[in-house]
């Protein structure tokens, strides 16, 4: 197995932002996409913030960062570059603004990516908030729902275009369903017919969280928000296309991880009781074990056989009652095998082996 290397390391990885070299206090929700020979690592960078005029206005603001790996570069050369801290990430989306006595912070969690051809599509949800001194708290004053499209260049980096707000396209449907605070989850998928699909989580007024999808059949020009949703209380959606035209979504619903399917592009969802049957349930709050759920989900072809790969927290060998290991599973929907585990300490980083063996 080729040597592994850690990307997006807090207080170490250099992030180029507005001509300056910076670091981030933490990173979250890393993901990978591949476009025309460029491997793109995307994540949420977080920086602690304290308003000098209002000491109780502490928070963190985030931006979206991306780093690039040239698949033609020798792996040993890339590893040496990262370990010497010569590899750079780049801030590609940051809408935080600060005036003398006021700060506007964009809460933009869980960047969601999908690649098609030489392009990478990045969905950024969330909302804008500002500190209200009279209330001594942060208030939400507008929604954010943006799409960035990047294109691989000859220099083996991604050239990103300006963000495009998708809110005008979905606002009528969101208003009809009383939905707000849209964010992504996991990675998007490209269906066999070329349709781009992103999983979403939103907050439904008076009810709670719901999950759904948004899709585009014309390479990101126009987007459709179907009316179908998972039951209230479901979070952390993960999607794949299994059979042609069949979307599977795994989500954490109350005290369990449930699998749902849609064959009408998200207009309706039904529970798929015989699919991914080894997805383990989350345990109740009063147990010692950390709640378990599917962390990531994708499809692959291995020896000509289509399979699903997913990661899930679980207890390591030795009698531990806590889920301190991240396990990789593989299934063809008839048989399921646990491949191996990743150490707990790596779950907030992006550990990369050679792209050819991802």
Is residue 342 a part of any domain in this protein?
yes
Together in a domain, 211 and 196: yes
Tell me the pLDDT tens digit for each residue of 74-108: 989 999 999 999 999 999 987 665 555 556 676 77
Together in a domain, 186 and 231: yes
Together in a domain, 229 and 286: no
Is residue 81 a part of any domain in this protein?
no
Together in a domain, 191 and 232: yes
Cross-sheet strand order for the sheet of 137-143: 97-98, 103-107, 127-132, 137-143
Together in a domain, 271 and 284: no
Is the Cα torsion angle 295, 327, 299, 284 positive or negative in sign? negative
| Residue 246 main-chain phi, psi, to 5 deg | -105, 115
Q: Which range marks the domain in which residue 340 is found?
A: 276-358
Is residue 179 a part of any domain in this protein?
yes
Together in a domain, 228 and 270: yes
Is the Cα torsion angle 34, 72, 329, 242 positive or negative in sign? positive
Together in a domain, 221 and 321: no
Is residue 144 a part of any domain in this protein?
no
| C-beta separation of 292 from 282 below 8 A | yes
Neighbouring C-beta atoms of residue 351, cutoff 10 Å? 15
Is residue 39 a part of any domain in this protein?
no
Q: Which one of 219, 247, 275 terminates a domain?
A: 275
| CA pair distance 279, 301, nearest whole angstrom | 20
Mean pLDDT of 129-133: 75
Residue whose C-alpha is closest to residue 7's, from 216, 271, 102, 24: 24
Give the rounded distance of the alpha carbon of 213 from its chain centre: 14
| C-beta separation of 312 from 280 below 8 A | yes
Pairwise pLDDT comparison (205 vs 14), residue with the higher score: 14
Please tell me the predicted confidence (pLDDT) of residue 102.
59
Lowest mean pLDDT among 154-163, 260-269, 285-294, 325-334: 285-294
Give 334's contacts (C-beta < 8 A, 6+ positions apart). Answer: none
Percentage with pLDDT > 70 across the chain: 80
Dihedral class, residue 170 (left if φ above 0, else alpha if ψ from -120 to 50, else beta): alpha
Tell me the pLDDT tens digit for each residue of 269-306: 999 877 776 665 555 444 555 446 677 889 998 889 99
Tell me 316's DSSP state. Answer: P
Domain count, the chain: 2
pTM: 0.87
Is residue 250 a part of any domain in this protein?
no
Residue whose C-alpha is closest to residue 92's, from 158, 36, 186, 136: 158
Together in a domain, 263 and 183: yes
Residue whose C-alpha is closest to residue 266's, from 169, 173, 331, 148: 173
| CA pair distance 228, 81, nearest whole angstrom | 46
Give the rounded distance of the alpha carbon of 206 from its chain centre: 26
Is residue 309 a part of any domain in this protein?
yes
Please tell me the predicted confidence (pLDDT) of residue 357.
44
């Amino acid at each position: 197995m080729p040597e592994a290397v850690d990307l997006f390391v807090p207080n170490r990885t250099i992030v180029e932002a507005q001509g300056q070299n910076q670091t981030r206090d933490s990173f979250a929700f890393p993901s990978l996409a591949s476009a025309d020979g460029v491997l793109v690592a995307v994540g949420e960078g977080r920086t602690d913030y304290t308003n000098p005029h209002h000491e109780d206005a502490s928070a963190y603001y985030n931006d979206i960062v991306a780093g690039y790996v040239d698949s033609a570069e020798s792996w040993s050369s890339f590893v040496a570059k990262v370990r010497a801290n010569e590899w750079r990430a780049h801030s590609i989306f940051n809408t935080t603004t600060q005036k003398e006595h006021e700060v506007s912070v964009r809460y933009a969690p869980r960047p969601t990516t999908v690649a098609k051809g030489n392009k990478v599509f990045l969905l950024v949800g969330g909302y804008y908030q500002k500190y209200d001194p009279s209330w001594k708290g942060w208030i939400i004053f507008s929604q954010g729902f943006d799409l960035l499209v990047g294109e691989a260049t000859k220099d083996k980096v991604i050239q990103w275009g300006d963000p495009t707000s998708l809110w005008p396209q979905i606002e009528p449907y969101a208003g009809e369903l009383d939905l707000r605070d849209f964010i992504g989850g996991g990675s998007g998928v490209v269906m066999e017919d070329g349709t781009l699909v992103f999983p979403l989580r939103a907050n439904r007024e008076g009810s709670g969280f719901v999950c759904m999808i948004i899709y585009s059949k014309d390479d990101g020009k126009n987007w459709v928000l179907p009316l179908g949703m998972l039951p209230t209380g479901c979070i952390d959606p993960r999607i794949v296309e299994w059979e042609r035209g069949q979307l599977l979504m795994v989500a954490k619903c109350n005290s369990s991880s449930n699998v749902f399917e849609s064959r009408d592009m998200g207009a309706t969802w039904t529970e798929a009781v015989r699919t991914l049957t080894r997805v383990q349930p989350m345990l109740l709050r009063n147990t010692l074990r950390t709640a378990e759920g599917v962390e990531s989900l994708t499809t692959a072809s291995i020896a000509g056989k289509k399979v699903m790969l997913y990661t899930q927290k679980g207890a390591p060998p030795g009698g531990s009652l806590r889920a301190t290991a991240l396990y990789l599973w593989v299934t063809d929907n008839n048989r399921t095998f646990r491949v191996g585990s990743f150490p707990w300490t790596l779950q907030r980083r992006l550990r990369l082996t050679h792209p050819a063996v991802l």
